Chain A
Amino acid sequence: MGCCYSSEAEASDQEDETKRLLEPAASPPNKVLNGAEQSYHNLPSARTDEQAMLSSILAKTAINIIDVSAADSQGMEQHEYMDRARQYSTRLAMLSNNLMHWKKLPLLPSLTNQPHQVLASDPVPFADLQQVSRIAAYAFSALSQIRVDAKEELVVQFGIP
């Protein structure tokens, strides 16, 4: 739904967009979050479902978060930096060869191989144009009659004493 060239069949492309270019060389620095995770192991083993869900959400977020402030400030040597830059550019060069993978543009039903013939033939019948205008007006009036039919109260009070 939405604008030009968007569709519901997009899910697989989004994974490719967020995939890393290079494999992470070192384990990502997340000292702060490691501490927090360890504290969860000390909780009593009788976890409620809610706590299990909360900790799984926390774990997923921890994996996805890049904590810039907690990053190791050891820095990279010049040669490491150049190395890394070279790795990225070779990887990019490899991938750009595969960039024929543009999503197929949605095509309107194919029209003609002989434009001059189409142009020379009779114009669109006026009756057809009138029919389309009628259909459009009818569709508009039908859609404008869609309304919410409120049958129940939207907000209810719970019976809290």
Chain B
Amino acid sequence: PGSERRCLSVRSMKSPAVVGVLCTDSQGLNLGCEGTLSDEHAGIISVLAQQAAKLTSDPTDTPVVCLESDNGNIMIQKHDSITVAVHKLVS
């Protein structure tokens, strides 16, 4: 299980331009992270995803929260009990 998690974050990081990955549970516990996203971001990321989910009453319609910046985006998606954030640079 530990090696699967590590595999997942390493594989995500192999994708070009991905500079950070973070996985958290619904309470902000950091389940694993790499790169620009770290332990201290887990709480904010989980809360952002939860708050965004309140925007729609359709439980199957989970929004992707995007934090857009000059050179990259942080995309946050909740999937059931876990939330994943990906920090990806744009050229």
Contact = CB atoms under 8 A, between A and B. Distances in A.
Contacts of B47: 4
A142 interface: yes
Q: Is the interface of A mostly helix, strand, loop or mixed?
A: loop
With a 10 A CB-CB cut-off, give which of A5, A113, A140 has the most chain B CB atoms.
A140
Contact of A108 (B29, B41, B79): B41
Contacts of A5: 43
A140 to B, nearest CB: 4
Interface string B59-91: 000001011111001111111111110111010
With a 10 A CB-CB cut-off, give which of A4, A143, A145, A147 has the most chain B CB atoms.
A143
A140 B80 contact: yes
15 contacts: A1-B29, A3-B28, A7-B40, A108-B74, A112-B70, A117-B70, A135-B84, A138-B8, A139-B5, A139-B84, A140-B81, A142-B5, A142-B8, A143-B23, A143-B31
